[in-house]
Structure 1
Amino acid sequence: MSQLPPLLWLQAFESAARTLSFTAAGNELGVTQAAISQRVRLLEDRVGQKLFVRHARSLTLTPAGQAWLPSIHDAFARISEGTLEVFGSTSEQPVTLRATPVIQQTWLAPRLIAFHRAHPQVAIRVVSAIWPDDFGPEGADIEIRYGKGEWTGVEMQPLGEEQLLPVCSQAVAETLTAPSDLAGHTLLHAVGFGVGWPGWLQEAGVAHLEAQCWSLTCDNQVMTLALASQSGGVALTHRRLMEQRNDLVAPFELSVLSDERFWLVRPSRRHVSEDAALVWSWLHNSMG
Protein backbone atom coordinates (compact mmCIF):
# COMPACT_ATOMS: atom_id res chain seq x y z
CA MET A 1 0.00 0.00 0.00
CA SER A 2 2.88 2.38 0.65
CA GLN A 3 3.73 2.22 -3.08
CA LEU A 4 0.40 3.73 -4.12
CA PRO A 5 0.70 7.27 -5.51
CA PRO A 6 -1.09 10.10 -3.66
CA LEU A 7 -4.81 10.40 -4.38
CA LEU A 8 -4.44 13.98 -5.69
CA TRP A 9 -2.04 12.75 -8.38
CA LEU A 10 -4.45 10.01 -9.39
CA GLN A 11 -7.35 12.48 -9.51
CA ALA A 12 -5.32 14.76 -11.76
CA PHE A 13 -4.52 11.86 -14.10
CA GLU A 14 -8.10 10.59 -14.22
CA SER A 15 -9.56 14.04 -14.95
CA ALA A 16 -6.91 14.96 -17.53
CA ALA A 17 -7.24 11.55 -19.22
CA ARG A 18 -11.01 11.89 -19.42
CA THR A 19 -10.96 15.47 -20.75
CA LEU A 20 -7.61 15.25 -22.58
CA SER A 21 -6.85 18.73 -21.24
CA PHE A 22 -4.84 19.91 -18.25
CA THR A 23 -6.82 23.17 -18.32
CA ALA A 24 -10.19 21.39 -18.26
CA ALA A 25 -8.95 19.08 -15.51
CA GLY A 26 -7.84 22.10 -13.47
CA ASN A 27 -11.25 23.74 -13.87
CA GLU A 28 -12.95 20.51 -12.83
CA LEU A 29 -10.79 20.04 -9.73
CA GLY A 30 -10.62 23.72 -8.81
CA VAL A 31 -6.85 24.14 -9.27
CA THR A 32 -4.61 25.68 -11.90
CA GLN A 33 -3.50 24.07 -15.14
CA ALA A 34 0.06 24.22 -13.79
CA ALA A 35 -0.97 22.28 -10.68
CA ILE A 36 -2.50 19.50 -12.79
CA SER A 37 0.60 19.36 -14.97
CA GLN A 38 2.86 19.14 -11.93
CA ARG A 39 0.79 16.36 -10.32
CA VAL A 40 0.80 14.36 -13.55
CA ARG A 41 4.57 14.74 -13.90
CA LEU A 42 5.05 13.57 -10.32
CA LEU A 43 2.80 10.60 -11.05
CA GLU A 44 4.78 9.79 -14.19
CA ASP A 45 7.99 9.94 -12.18
CA ARG A 46 6.48 7.60 -9.59
CA VAL A 47 5.32 4.94 -12.08
CA GLY A 48 8.37 5.37 -14.30
CA GLN A 49 6.49 5.88 -17.56
CA LYS A 50 4.92 8.71 -19.54
CA LEU A 51 1.12 8.72 -19.36
CA PHE A 52 0.44 11.51 -21.87
CA VAL A 53 1.87 12.71 -25.16
CA ARG A 54 1.97 16.49 -24.90
CA HIS A 55 1.24 18.25 -28.18
CA ALA A 56 1.26 22.01 -28.76
CA ARG A 57 -2.47 22.42 -28.12
CA SER A 58 -3.70 19.02 -27.04
CA LEU A 59 -3.01 15.80 -25.14
CA THR A 60 -3.22 12.14 -26.03
CA LEU A 61 -2.74 9.13 -23.80
CA THR A 62 0.27 6.90 -24.21
CA PRO A 63 -0.36 3.15 -24.47
CA ALA A 64 0.53 2.89 -20.76
CA GLY A 65 -1.93 5.63 -19.90
CA GLN A 66 -4.69 4.00 -21.95
CA ALA A 67 -4.04 0.64 -20.29
CA TRP A 68 -4.06 2.10 -16.76
CA LEU A 69 -7.09 4.41 -17.08
CA PRO A 70 -9.81 1.71 -16.72
CA SER A 71 -8.26 0.57 -13.42
CA ILE A 72 -8.27 4.15 -12.11
CA HIS A 73 -11.92 4.62 -13.18
CA ASP A 74 -12.85 1.39 -11.44
CA ALA A 75 -10.96 2.33 -8.27
CA PHE A 76 -12.74 5.69 -7.94
CA ALA A 77 -16.10 4.03 -8.61
CA ARG A 78 -15.44 1.45 -5.88
CA ILE A 79 -14.44 4.17 -3.41
CA SER A 80 -17.62 6.11 -4.17
CA GLU A 81 -19.82 3.01 -3.85
CA GLY A 82 -18.13 1.92 -0.63
CA THR A 83 -18.46 5.37 0.91
CA LEU A 84 -22.16 5.51 0.07
CA GLU A 85 -22.72 2.00 1.44
CA VAL A 86 -20.93 2.61 4.75
CA PHE A 87 -21.71 6.25 5.46
CA GLY A 88 -24.90 6.87 3.54
CA SER A 89 -25.75 9.86 1.41
CA THR A 90 -23.81 13.09 1.67
CA SER A 91 -26.93 14.86 2.97
CA GLU A 92 -26.36 13.08 6.27
CA GLN A 93 -22.76 14.26 6.54
CA PRO A 94 -21.45 17.38 8.29
CA VAL A 95 -21.15 20.58 6.28
CA THR A 96 -17.45 20.85 5.38
CA LEU A 97 -16.06 24.37 5.42
CA ARG A 98 -12.51 25.02 4.18
CA ALA A 99 -10.58 28.22 4.95
CA THR A 100 -7.11 29.47 5.78
CA PRO A 101 -6.14 29.30 9.48
CA VAL A 102 -5.98 33.07 9.87
CA ILE A 103 -9.51 33.66 8.51
CA GLN A 104 -10.73 30.81 10.72
CA GLN A 105 -9.30 32.40 13.86
CA THR A 106 -10.53 35.90 13.15
CA TRP A 107 -13.46 36.46 10.80
CA LEU A 108 -14.95 32.96 10.84
CA ALA A 109 -14.75 31.92 14.51
CA PRO A 110 -17.27 34.41 15.99
CA ARG A 111 -19.69 33.79 13.13
CA LEU A 112 -19.55 30.03 13.56
CA ILE A 113 -20.17 30.41 17.30
CA ALA A 114 -23.25 32.51 16.59
CA PHE A 115 -24.45 30.06 13.95
CA HIS A 116 -23.98 27.07 16.26
CA ARG A 117 -25.95 28.74 19.03
CA ALA A 118 -28.80 29.43 16.60
CA HIS A 119 -28.64 26.04 14.82
CA PRO A 120 -27.00 23.49 17.15
CA GLN A 121 -28.46 20.61 15.13
CA VAL A 122 -26.25 21.40 12.10
CA ALA A 123 -22.91 19.57 12.19
CA ILE A 124 -19.98 21.49 10.71
CA ARG A 125 -16.47 20.26 9.93
CA VAL A 126 -13.81 22.96 9.46
CA VAL A 127 -10.68 22.07 7.48
CA SER A 128 -7.61 24.19 6.79
CA ALA A 129 -5.86 25.31 3.62
CA ILE A 130 -2.86 27.57 3.19
CA TRP A 131 -1.82 27.50 -0.47
CA PRO A 132 -4.14 28.19 -3.42
CA ASP A 133 -3.80 24.59 -4.61
CA ASP A 134 -5.13 23.38 -1.25
CA PHE A 135 -8.53 24.64 -2.34
CA GLY A 136 -10.81 22.74 -4.68
CA PRO A 137 -13.86 20.51 -4.71
CA GLU A 138 -12.42 17.59 -2.75
CA GLY A 139 -14.88 17.23 0.11
CA ALA A 140 -15.64 20.92 0.79
CA ASP A 141 -19.20 22.27 0.65
CA ILE A 142 -18.12 25.88 1.27
CA GLU A 143 -14.75 27.62 1.07
CA ILE A 144 -13.37 31.02 1.98
CA ARG A 145 -10.71 31.75 -0.63
CA TYR A 146 -8.38 34.69 -1.14
CA GLY A 147 -7.63 36.11 -4.56
CA LYS A 148 -9.10 38.05 -7.45
CA GLY A 149 -12.08 35.74 -7.91
CA GLU A 150 -10.78 34.26 -11.16
CA TRP A 151 -12.15 30.75 -10.61
CA THR A 152 -14.46 28.72 -12.79
CA GLY A 153 -17.14 26.23 -11.87
CA VAL A 154 -18.00 27.97 -8.62
CA GLU A 155 -20.52 30.40 -7.17
CA MET A 156 -18.82 33.14 -5.18
CA GLN A 157 -19.56 36.22 -3.12
CA PRO A 158 -16.89 38.76 -2.10
CA LEU A 159 -16.57 39.43 1.62
CA GLY A 160 -15.87 43.09 0.90
CA GLU A 161 -13.05 45.44 0.01
CA GLU A 162 -9.64 44.62 1.48
CA GLN A 163 -7.29 47.13 3.07
CA LEU A 164 -3.88 46.18 4.42
CA LEU A 165 -2.13 47.99 7.25
CA PRO A 166 0.86 47.44 9.58
CA VAL A 167 0.26 45.89 13.02
CA CYS A 168 2.54 45.13 15.95
CA SER A 169 2.63 44.79 19.72
CA GLN A 170 1.93 47.75 21.95
CA ALA A 171 5.61 47.86 22.98
CA VAL A 172 6.80 48.13 19.38
CA ALA A 173 4.04 50.63 18.53
CA GLU A 174 5.35 52.98 21.18
CA THR A 175 8.57 53.36 19.14
CA LEU A 176 6.68 54.26 15.95
CA THR A 177 5.21 57.69 15.33
CA ALA A 178 5.78 57.96 11.57
CA PRO A 179 6.44 55.43 8.78
CA SER A 180 10.08 56.54 8.66
CA ASP A 181 10.47 55.10 12.17
CA LEU A 182 10.25 51.60 10.68
CA ALA A 183 13.94 51.87 9.74
CA GLY A 184 15.86 49.26 11.72
CA HIS A 185 12.73 47.24 12.55
CA THR A 186 11.89 43.75 11.25
CA LEU A 187 9.22 43.62 8.56
CA LEU A 188 7.25 40.37 8.70
CA HIS A 189 6.27 39.14 5.23
CA ALA A 190 3.51 36.61 4.45
CA VAL A 191 4.00 35.19 0.98
CA GLY A 192 1.22 34.75 -1.54
CA PHE A 193 -0.37 38.20 -1.44
CA GLY A 194 -0.52 40.57 -4.40
CA VAL A 195 0.04 43.60 -2.17
CA GLY A 196 2.80 43.42 0.44
CA TRP A 197 5.25 45.64 2.24
CA PRO A 198 6.63 47.25 -0.96
CA GLY A 199 3.12 48.46 -1.84
CA TRP A 200 2.43 49.87 1.63
CA LEU A 201 5.83 51.57 1.90
CA GLN A 202 5.33 53.17 -1.50
CA GLU A 203 1.88 54.42 -0.46
CA ALA A 204 3.47 55.87 2.69
CA GLY A 205 6.08 57.70 0.62
CA VAL A 206 9.03 55.76 2.09
CA ALA A 207 9.61 53.12 -0.59
CA HIS A 208 13.36 53.34 -0.03
CA LEU A 209 12.95 52.28 3.58
CA GLU A 210 12.73 48.54 2.90
CA ALA A 211 16.50 48.38 2.40
CA GLN A 212 16.93 49.79 5.92
CA CYS A 213 14.74 47.13 7.57
CA TRP A 214 15.30 43.54 8.56
CA SER A 215 13.14 40.90 6.94
CA LEU A 216 11.47 37.70 8.10
CA THR A 217 9.23 35.73 5.72
CA CYS A 218 6.54 33.14 6.60
CA ASP A 219 4.19 31.12 4.42
CA ASN A 220 1.09 32.18 6.35
CA GLN A 221 -0.35 35.12 8.25
CA VAL A 222 -0.94 33.12 11.43
CA MET A 223 2.81 33.06 12.01
CA THR A 224 3.49 36.67 11.02
CA LEU A 225 0.75 37.88 13.39
CA ALA A 226 2.04 35.61 16.17
CA LEU A 227 5.54 37.05 15.76
CA ALA A 228 4.18 40.59 15.67
CA SER A 229 2.15 40.04 18.86
CA GLN A 230 5.34 38.94 20.63
CA SER A 231 7.31 42.03 19.51
CA GLY A 232 9.10 40.04 16.81
CA GLY A 233 8.50 42.70 14.18
CA VAL A 234 5.79 44.54 12.28
CA ALA A 235 3.35 42.55 10.16
CA LEU A 236 1.13 43.67 7.31
CA THR A 237 -2.39 42.32 7.58
CA HIS A 238 -5.97 42.85 6.45
CA ARG A 239 -7.99 45.32 8.44
CA ARG A 240 -10.88 42.82 8.79
CA LEU A 241 -8.54 40.30 10.46
CA MET A 242 -8.05 42.71 13.36
CA GLU A 243 -11.70 42.37 14.45
CA GLN A 244 -11.02 39.75 17.13
CA ARG A 245 -7.42 40.65 18.05
CA ASN A 246 -6.59 42.43 21.31
CA ASP A 247 -2.87 41.59 21.24
CA LEU A 248 -2.04 43.78 18.24
CA VAL A 249 -2.32 47.47 17.50
CA ALA A 250 -2.07 49.51 14.30
CA PRO A 251 0.67 52.14 14.75
CA PHE A 252 -0.39 54.05 11.62
CA GLU A 253 -3.79 54.86 10.16
CA LEU A 254 -2.56 54.51 6.59
CA SER A 255 -3.80 51.42 4.76
CA VAL A 256 -3.38 50.30 1.15
CA LEU A 257 -6.15 48.87 -1.02
CA SER A 258 -5.72 45.42 -2.57
CA ASP A 259 -7.31 44.09 -5.74
CA GLU A 260 -7.39 40.71 -4.00
CA ARG A 261 -10.02 39.88 -1.41
CA PHE A 262 -11.68 37.10 0.54
CA TRP A 263 -14.52 35.26 -1.17
CA LEU A 264 -17.26 32.93 -0.03
CA VAL A 265 -17.13 30.08 -2.58
CA ARG A 266 -19.07 26.88 -3.31
CA PRO A 267 -19.21 24.53 -6.33
CA SER A 268 -21.83 25.69 -8.79
CA ARG A 269 -22.80 22.25 -10.09
CA ARG A 270 -22.93 20.25 -6.87
CA HIS A 271 -26.15 19.36 -5.09
CA VAL A 272 -26.47 21.65 -2.06
CA SER A 273 -27.85 20.08 1.09
CA GLU A 274 -30.28 22.00 3.28
CA ASP A 275 -27.65 22.31 6.03
CA ALA A 276 -24.99 23.58 3.60
CA ALA A 277 -27.45 26.10 2.18
CA LEU A 278 -28.23 27.30 5.70
CA VAL A 279 -24.54 27.79 6.55
CA TRP A 280 -23.94 29.60 3.25
CA SER A 281 -26.87 31.93 3.86
CA TRP A 282 -25.72 32.68 7.41
CA LEU A 283 -22.16 33.52 6.35
CA HIS A 284 -23.38 35.52 3.35
CA ASN A 285 -25.66 37.61 5.57
CA SER A 286 -22.84 38.31 8.05
CA MET A 287 -20.25 39.49 5.56
CA GLY A 288 -19.81 42.88 7.10
Structure 2
Amino acid sequence: MSRSLPPVNWLYAFEVTARHMSFTEAAAELGVTQSAVSQRIRLLESHLGQALFHRLPRGLKLTASGEALVPLVRETFSRLSDGTAEIFGSSSVDRLVVQVTLGFAGLWLNPRLAHFRAAHPDVNLRLITSVWSVDYPAAGVDLEIRHGGGNWPGLKAERLTWDKVFPVCGPALLRQRRKLRKPEELTAQDLLHVIGFREGWAQWFAAAGIPAPADIGAGVEFDTAILAIEQALSGTGFALGRSCYVDHLLADGRLVAPYSSFIETREAFYIVAPEGRQEKAAAKLFRTWIKSEAQQARRASI
Protein backbone atom coordinates (compact mmCIF):
# COMPACT_ATOMS: atom_id res chain seq x y z
CA MET A 1 0.00 0.00 0.00
CA SER A 2 2.81 2.42 0.88
CA ARG A 3 4.24 2.04 -2.63
CA SER A 4 1.19 3.78 -4.07
CA LEU A 5 1.63 6.85 -1.90
CA PRO A 6 3.65 9.72 -3.36
CA PRO A 7 6.46 11.24 -1.26
CA VAL A 8 5.34 13.68 1.42
CA ASN A 9 7.45 16.53 0.04
CA TRP A 10 5.60 16.28 -3.28
CA LEU A 11 2.24 16.47 -1.51
CA TYR A 12 3.37 19.36 0.68
CA ALA A 13 4.64 21.26 -2.36
CA PHE A 14 1.22 20.70 -3.94
CA GLU A 15 -0.64 22.00 -0.84
CA VAL A 16 1.49 25.14 -0.61
CA THR A 17 1.24 25.82 -4.35
CA ALA A 18 -2.54 25.35 -4.29
CA ARG A 19 -2.78 27.78 -1.39
CA HIS A 20 -0.76 30.48 -3.15
CA MET A 21 -1.62 29.59 -6.76
CA SER A 22 1.96 30.53 -7.55
CA PHE A 23 5.17 28.51 -7.89
CA THR A 24 7.17 31.60 -6.89
CA GLU A 25 5.28 32.21 -3.65
CA ALA A 26 5.28 28.51 -2.83
CA ALA A 27 9.05 28.42 -3.30
CA ALA A 28 9.44 31.37 -0.90
CA GLU A 29 7.40 29.60 1.79
CA LEU A 30 9.20 26.28 1.32
CA GLY A 31 12.64 27.85 1.14
CA VAL A 32 13.51 26.22 -2.19
CA THR A 33 13.79 27.39 -5.77
CA GLN A 34 10.81 27.87 -8.06
CA SER A 35 12.12 25.14 -10.35
CA ALA A 36 12.29 22.72 -7.41
CA VAL A 37 8.62 23.33 -6.60
CA SER A 38 7.66 22.96 -10.26
CA GLN A 39 9.59 19.70 -10.49
CA ARG A 40 7.88 18.26 -7.39
CA ILE A 41 4.48 19.08 -8.86
CA ARG A 42 5.41 17.47 -12.19
CA LEU A 43 6.63 14.34 -10.39
CA LEU A 44 3.41 14.17 -8.36
CA GLU A 45 1.31 14.57 -11.52
CA SER A 46 3.31 11.86 -13.25
CA HIS A 47 2.91 9.57 -10.22
CA LEU A 48 -0.86 10.13 -10.13
CA GLY A 49 -1.30 10.10 -13.89
CA GLN A 50 -3.36 13.31 -13.72
CA ALA A 51 -2.65 16.98 -14.26
CA LEU A 52 -3.28 18.97 -11.06
CA PHE A 53 -2.82 22.50 -12.39
CA HIS A 54 -3.58 24.34 -15.58
CA ARG A 55 -0.46 26.40 -16.42
CA LEU A 56 -1.95 29.70 -17.62
CA PRO A 57 -0.11 32.70 -19.11
CA ARG A 58 -0.73 34.60 -15.88
CA GLY A 59 -0.72 32.09 -13.08
CA LEU A 60 -2.15 28.72 -12.18
CA LYS A 61 -5.59 27.14 -11.95
CA LEU A 62 -6.47 23.86 -10.33
CA THR A 63 -7.82 21.12 -12.55
CA ALA A 64 -10.85 19.14 -11.41
CA SER A 65 -8.48 16.48 -10.06
CA GLY A 66 -6.43 19.11 -8.26
CA GLU A 67 -9.55 20.62 -6.65
CA ALA A 68 -10.58 17.17 -5.44
CA LEU A 69 -7.14 16.46 -3.98
CA VAL A 70 -6.66 19.75 -2.07
CA PRO A 71 -9.04 19.11 0.87
CA LEU A 72 -7.77 15.55 1.29
CA VAL A 73 -4.13 16.65 1.48
CA ARG A 74 -4.88 19.53 3.84
CA GLU A 75 -6.96 17.37 6.15
CA THR A 76 -4.24 14.71 6.16
CA PHE A 77 -1.52 17.16 7.17
CA SER A 78 -3.78 18.73 9.78
CA ARG A 79 -4.66 15.35 11.32
CA LEU A 80 -1.00 14.29 11.26
CA SER A 81 -0.01 17.47 13.07
CA ASP A 82 -2.78 17.15 15.65
CA GLY A 83 -2.18 13.44 16.15
CA THR A 84 1.55 13.85 16.64
CA ALA A 85 0.97 16.53 19.26
CA GLU A 86 -1.60 14.34 21.02
CA ILE A 87 0.65 11.27 21.11
CA PHE A 88 3.98 12.88 21.90
CA GLY A 89 2.82 16.05 23.60
CA SER A 90 3.45 19.61 22.53
CA SER A 91 6.95 20.75 21.75
CA SER A 92 9.02 22.79 24.16
CA VAL A 93 7.60 25.85 22.40
CA ASP A 94 3.81 25.53 22.09
CA ARG A 95 3.16 28.03 19.34
CA LEU A 96 -0.20 29.51 18.35
CA VAL A 97 -0.36 30.22 14.61
CA VAL A 98 -2.84 32.86 13.44
CA GLN A 99 -3.38 33.66 9.77
CA VAL A 100 -4.55 37.24 9.18
CA THR A 101 -4.92 39.76 6.37
CA LEU A 102 -2.10 42.27 6.11
CA GLY A 103 -4.25 45.38 6.59
CA PHE A 104 -5.97 44.08 9.72
CA ALA A 105 -2.67 42.83 11.13
CA GLY A 106 -0.90 46.15 10.63
CA LEU A 107 -3.66 48.62 11.46
CA TRP A 108 -5.79 46.84 14.07
CA LEU A 109 -4.05 43.83 15.58
CA ASN A 110 -0.45 45.00 15.83
CA PRO A 111 -1.20 48.07 18.00
CA ARG A 112 -2.99 45.77 20.48
CA LEU A 113 -0.57 42.84 20.62
CA ALA A 114 1.14 44.21 23.72
CA HIS A 115 -2.18 43.76 25.55
CA PHE A 116 -2.27 40.09 24.61
CA ARG A 117 1.36 39.53 25.55
CA ALA A 118 0.78 41.19 28.93
CA ALA A 119 -2.29 39.05 29.59
CA HIS A 120 -0.81 35.78 28.29
CA PRO A 121 3.01 35.93 28.41
CA ASP A 122 3.29 32.12 28.12
CA VAL A 123 1.60 31.96 24.72
CA ASN A 124 4.04 31.98 21.82
CA LEU A 125 2.28 33.63 18.89
CA ARG A 126 3.11 33.44 15.19
CA LEU A 127 1.25 35.70 12.74
CA ILE A 128 1.08 34.70 9.07
CA THR A 129 -0.11 37.54 6.84
CA SER A 130 -1.48 37.80 3.33
CA VAL A 131 -2.94 40.76 1.45
CA TRP A 132 -6.34 39.04 1.29
CA SER A 133 -7.88 35.99 2.87
CA VAL A 134 -6.61 32.74 1.38
CA ASP A 135 -7.82 29.16 1.58
CA TYR A 136 -8.20 27.89 5.13
CA PRO A 137 -7.64 25.67 7.02
CA ALA A 138 -3.99 25.45 6.02
CA ALA A 139 -1.59 22.99 7.60
CA GLY A 140 -0.32 24.27 10.94
CA VAL A 141 -2.70 27.26 11.20
CA ASP A 142 -4.84 27.36 14.34
CA LEU A 143 -7.03 30.41 13.71
CA GLU A 144 -7.68 32.85 10.90
CA ILE A 145 -8.94 36.42 10.86
CA ARG A 146 -10.61 36.99 7.50
CA HIS A 147 -12.74 39.57 5.75
CA GLY A 148 -16.05 38.84 4.09
CA GLY A 149 -19.71 38.11 4.65
CA GLY A 150 -19.26 35.58 7.44
CA ASN A 151 -20.59 32.50 5.65
CA TRP A 152 -17.85 30.02 4.76
CA PRO A 153 -18.75 26.32 4.49
CA GLY A 154 -17.05 24.24 7.14
CA LEU A 155 -15.88 27.24 9.16
CA LYS A 156 -17.18 28.63 12.43
CA ALA A 157 -17.05 32.45 12.14
CA GLU A 158 -17.44 35.05 14.90
CA ARG A 159 -17.75 38.69 13.89
CA LEU A 160 -15.21 41.18 15.19
CA THR A 161 -15.95 44.50 13.45
CA TRP A 162 -18.87 46.74 12.50
CA ASP A 163 -17.25 49.39 10.35
CA LYS A 164 -18.00 52.76 8.85
CA VAL A 165 -16.10 54.18 5.88
CA PHE A 166 -15.33 57.88 5.49
CA PRO A 167 -12.64 60.21 4.06
CA VAL A 168 -9.50 60.79 6.12
CA CYS A 169 -6.33 62.77 5.59
CA GLY A 170 -3.35 64.11 7.48
CA PRO A 171 -3.94 67.30 9.49
CA ALA A 172 -1.18 69.12 7.57
CA LEU A 173 -3.00 68.55 4.27
CA LEU A 174 -6.19 69.99 5.69
CA ARG A 175 -4.33 73.06 6.97
CA GLN A 176 -2.76 73.57 3.56
CA ARG A 177 -6.15 73.46 1.88
CA ARG A 178 -8.23 75.57 4.23
CA LYS A 179 -11.02 75.95 1.70
CA LEU A 180 -11.91 72.26 1.91
CA ARG A 181 -14.97 72.84 4.07
CA LYS A 182 -17.54 71.00 1.97
CA PRO A 183 -17.36 67.36 0.88
CA GLU A 184 -18.23 68.43 -2.68
CA GLU A 185 -14.73 69.90 -2.91
CA LEU A 186 -13.21 66.43 -2.64
CA THR A 187 -14.04 65.84 -6.30
CA ALA A 188 -11.04 67.96 -7.24
CA GLN A 189 -8.60 66.36 -4.77
CA ASP A 190 -6.14 63.47 -4.98
CA LEU A 191 -8.05 60.34 -3.96
CA LEU A 192 -6.27 57.21 -2.77
CA HIS A 193 -7.92 53.91 -3.71
CA VAL A 194 -7.84 50.45 -2.11
CA ILE A 195 -8.95 47.61 -4.34
CA GLY A 196 -10.80 44.56 -3.06
CA PHE A 197 -13.38 46.15 -0.76
CA ARG A 198 -17.04 46.57 -1.72
CA GLU A 199 -17.05 50.17 -0.51
CA GLY A 200 -15.02 52.66 -2.53
CA TRP A 201 -15.08 56.34 -3.45
CA ALA A 202 -17.96 55.93 -5.89
CA GLN A 203 -20.13 54.46 -3.14
CA TRP A 204 -19.14 57.17 -0.67
CA PHE A 205 -19.94 60.01 -3.09
CA ALA A 206 -23.31 58.41 -3.82
CA ALA A 207 -24.12 58.06 -0.11
CA ALA A 208 -23.12 61.69 0.46
CA GLY A 209 -25.40 62.81 -2.39
CA ILE A 210 -22.49 64.21 -4.38
CA PRO A 211 -21.95 63.59 -8.11
CA ALA A 212 -18.76 61.56 -8.43
CA PRO A 213 -16.00 63.05 -10.57
CA ALA A 214 -15.87 61.77 -14.13
CA ASP A 215 -12.37 60.40 -13.53
CA ILE A 216 -13.31 58.67 -10.25
CA GLY A 217 -10.85 55.86 -10.92
CA ALA A 218 -7.90 58.18 -11.49
CA GLY A 219 -5.03 58.27 -9.03
CA VAL A 220 -3.07 55.63 -7.16
CA GLU A 221 -4.55 52.21 -6.33
CA PHE A 222 -3.25 49.95 -3.56
CA ASP A 223 -3.98 46.30 -2.83
CA THR A 224 -3.69 46.88 0.92
CA ALA A 225 -5.13 49.65 3.08
CA ILE A 226 -1.84 49.98 4.93
CA LEU A 227 -0.22 51.76 1.98
CA ALA A 228 -3.21 54.05 1.37
CA ILE A 229 -3.33 55.04 5.05
CA GLU A 230 0.42 55.68 5.08
CA GLN A 231 0.02 57.97 2.08
CA ALA A 232 -2.81 59.81 3.82
CA LEU A 233 -0.64 60.20 6.92
CA SER A 234 2.14 61.67 4.80
CA GLY A 235 -0.25 64.26 3.34
CA THR A 236 -0.33 63.10 -0.28
CA GLY A 237 -4.09 62.70 -0.55
CA PHE A 238 -7.39 61.54 0.90
CA ALA A 239 -8.04 57.89 1.74
CA LEU A 240 -11.25 56.14 2.66
CA GLY A 241 -10.75 55.09 6.25
CA ARG A 242 -12.44 52.04 7.73
CA SER A 243 -13.23 52.74 11.36
CA CYS A 244 -11.45 49.61 12.61
CA TYR A 245 -8.33 50.72 10.74
CA VAL A 246 -8.25 54.43 11.60
CA ASP A 247 -10.03 55.02 14.93
CA HIS A 248 -6.75 54.97 16.87
CA LEU A 249 -5.12 57.30 14.34
CA LEU A 250 -8.02 59.74 14.65
CA ALA A 251 -7.90 59.55 18.44
CA ASP A 252 -4.24 60.57 18.62
CA GLY A 253 -4.58 63.26 15.93
CA ARG A 254 -2.42 61.67 13.26
CA LEU A 255 -5.44 61.56 10.94
CA VAL A 256 -8.50 63.76 10.68
CA ALA A 257 -11.97 63.04 9.29
CA PRO A 258 -13.14 66.41 7.95
CA TYR A 259 -16.67 65.38 6.88
CA SER A 260 -19.57 63.72 8.66
CA SER A 261 -20.82 61.60 5.74
CA PHE A 262 -20.06 57.89 6.00
CA ILE A 263 -21.23 54.51 4.72
CA GLU A 264 -21.64 51.36 6.79
CA THR A 265 -19.78 48.33 5.48
CA ARG A 266 -21.62 45.24 4.26
CA GLU A 267 -18.69 42.96 5.08
CA ALA A 268 -16.59 42.64 8.22
CA PHE A 269 -13.63 40.91 9.83
CA TYR A 270 -14.26 37.56 11.51
CA ILE A 271 -12.23 35.15 13.56
CA VAL A 272 -12.73 31.70 12.07
CA ALA A 273 -11.74 28.09 12.66
CA PRO A 274 -12.86 24.77 11.18
CA GLU A 275 -16.11 23.46 12.62
CA GLY A 276 -15.63 20.47 14.86
CA ARG A 277 -11.88 20.87 15.30
CA GLN A 278 -10.68 20.54 18.89
CA GLU A 279 -9.13 23.89 19.75
CA LYS A 280 -5.89 24.13 21.69
CA ALA A 281 -5.88 26.10 24.94
CA ALA A 282 -3.85 28.98 23.48
CA ALA A 283 -6.35 29.40 20.65
CA LYS A 284 -9.20 29.67 23.15
CA LEU A 285 -7.28 32.34 25.07
CA PHE A 286 -6.61 34.30 21.88
CA ARG A 287 -10.23 34.01 20.73
CA THR A 288 -11.54 35.29 24.07
CA TRP A 289 -9.01 38.13 24.11
CA ILE A 290 -9.58 39.37 20.55
CA LYS A 291 -13.37 39.30 20.94
CA SER A 292 -13.02 41.40 24.09
CA GLU A 293 -10.72 43.87 22.32
CA ALA A 294 -13.14 44.08 19.40
CA GLN A 295 -16.07 44.80 21.73
CA GLN A 296 -14.10 47.55 23.47
CA ALA A 297 -13.16 49.07 20.14
CA ARG A 298 -16.76 48.97 18.97
CA ARG A 299 -18.02 50.69 22.14
CA ALA A 300 -15.34 53.38 21.79
CA SER A 301 -16.29 53.94 18.13
CA ILE A 302 -20.03 54.36 18.69
TM-score, normalisation: structure 1: 0.70
Which residue in 2 is equivalent to 1:160? 161
Which residue in 1 is equivalent to 2:257? 250
1:167–1:270 CA distance, 2 compared to 1 (3 A)? same
Give the gaps of 5 or more residues in structure 2: 1-8, 19-40, 53-62, 296-302
Which residue in 2 is equivalent to 1:115? 116
1:135–1:6 CA distance, 2 compared to 1 (3 A)? same
Shift of 1:51: 2.8
CA RMSD in angstroms, aligned pairs only: 3.6
Partner residue of 2:201 out of 187, 197, 204:
197
Contact kept, 8 Å, 2:100 with 2:145, in 1: the verdict is yes
1:134–1:226 CA distance, 2 compared to 1 (3 A)? farther
Contact kept, 8 Å, 2:137 with 2:273, in 1: the verdict is no
Shift of 1:196: 0.8
Task: State whether structure 2 residue 194 is matched by structure 1 residue 187.
Answer: no
Distance 1:250 1:259 in 2: 21
Task: State whether structure 2 residue 217 is matched by structure 1 residue 217.
Answer: no
1:137–1:10 CA distance, 2 compared to 1 (3 A)? closer
Shift of 1:89: 4.6
Contact kept, 8 Å, 1:97 with 1:141, in 2: the verdict is yes
Distance 2:112 2:170 in 1: 26
Single out whichever of 131-140 and 98-107 deviates more from structure 2.
Answer: 131-140
Contact kept, 8 Å, 2:107 with 2:226, in 1: the verdict is no
Secondary structure of the residue aligned to 2:196 is: coil
1:122–1:6 CA distance, 2 compared to 1 (3 A)? same
Which residue in 2 is equivalent to 1:150? 151
1:274–1:206 CA distance, 2 compared to 1 (3 A)? same
Shift of 1:260: 0.6
1:212–1:284 CA distance, 2 compared to 1 (3 A)? closer
Shift of 1:11: 6.5
Identity over aligned pairs, percent: 26
Name the amino acid aligned to 2:183: P
1:120–1:10 CA distance, 2 compared to 1 (3 A)? closer
Contact kept, 8 Å, 1:225 with 1:235, in 2: the verdict is yes
Partner residue of 1:276 out of 276, 280, 283:
283
Which residue in 1 is equivalent to 2:51? 51
Contact kept, 8 Å, 1:224 with 1:235, in 2: the verdict is yes
Shift of 1:281: 1.2
1:47–1:210 CA distance, 2 compared to 1 (3 A)? farther
Shift of 1:157: 1.0
- Equivalent pairs, count: 238
